[in-house]
């Protein structure tokens, strides 16, 4: 189906039927859109969500591709939570969050890939994990970030607690007179393999282990600082 209004998108994305949803034009609003399982949401040329975000809770088998999501008003650009799994976000652009972050993966979600996407102008880009007290995340949160562009990001690119991450071939760039807190962070025993990333003009820590319990990072020597 092809959708061009917020009502059409909410109806199609929330359907219990498997569906390929093509987004046309610019859809504005301040609500988030609940996405059910077995959905592929593809933006046609120039497709933009200006204000709405996508909300994935306890779902699986979802692909989100070729969308621009900017100025998310009442949620993250994409929220993935509560044991959602097998999610692929590809060739998207996220920017200027008004509420919190851009793409968060939390509450025992698993097997998530974010690839070939752009994150811009955010204090909080991508949080993986539900907080330092949520030990139920242990053994979950297998995430991959590859070939993404993080532009003028303050931190969380990503920040990973408890889980296992592969973060490779991403480009981190700072073009403003700002000091980044960090780029990639591992905390609460998380394990991250960070390889072949390029850090350009990052004034803070490109890679950090933080939190009340540090995580682990390998692959640092393969990156360009």
Residues involved in catalysis? 156
d(CA 186, CA 3): 39
Sign of CA dihedral 222, 162, 142, 68: negative
In eight-state DSSP terms, residue 224 is B
CA distance 103 to 97: 10
| Contacts of the segment 37-41: beta carbons below 8 A, 24+ positions apart | 37/61, 37/62, 38/62, 39/13, 39/63, 40/65, 41/13, 41/65, 41/67
DSSP calls for 172-191: EE--SS---SEEEEEETT-E
């Amino acid at each position: 189906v092809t959708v061009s209004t917020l009502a059409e998108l909410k109806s199609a994305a929330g359907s219990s039927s498997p569906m390929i949803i093509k987004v046309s034009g610019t859809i504005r609003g301040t609500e988030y859109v609940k996405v059910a399982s077995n959905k592929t949401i593809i933006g046609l040329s120039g497709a933009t969500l200006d204000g709405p975000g996508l909300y994935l809770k306890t779902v699986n088998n979802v692909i989100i591709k070729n969308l621009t999501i900017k100025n998310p008003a009442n949620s993250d650009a994409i929220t993935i939570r509560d044991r959602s799994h097998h999610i692929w976000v590809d060739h998207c652009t996220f920017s200027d969050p008004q509420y919190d972050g851009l793409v968060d993966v939390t509450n025992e979600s698993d097997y998530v890939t974010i690839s070939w996407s752009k994150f811009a102008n955010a204090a909080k880009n991508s949080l993986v994990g539900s907080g330092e007290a949520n030990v139920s995340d242990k053994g979950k949160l297998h995430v991959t970030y590859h070939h993404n562009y993080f532009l003028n990001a303050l931190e969380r690119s990503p920040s990973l607690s408890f889980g296992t991450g592969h973060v490779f071939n991403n480009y981190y760039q700072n073009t403003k007179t700002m000091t980044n807190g960090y780029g990639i962070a591992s905390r609460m025993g998380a394990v991250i393999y960070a390889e072949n990333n390029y850090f350009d003009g990052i004034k803070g820590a490109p890679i950090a282990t933080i939190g009340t319990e540090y995580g682990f990072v390998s692959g640092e020597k393969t990156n360009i600082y």
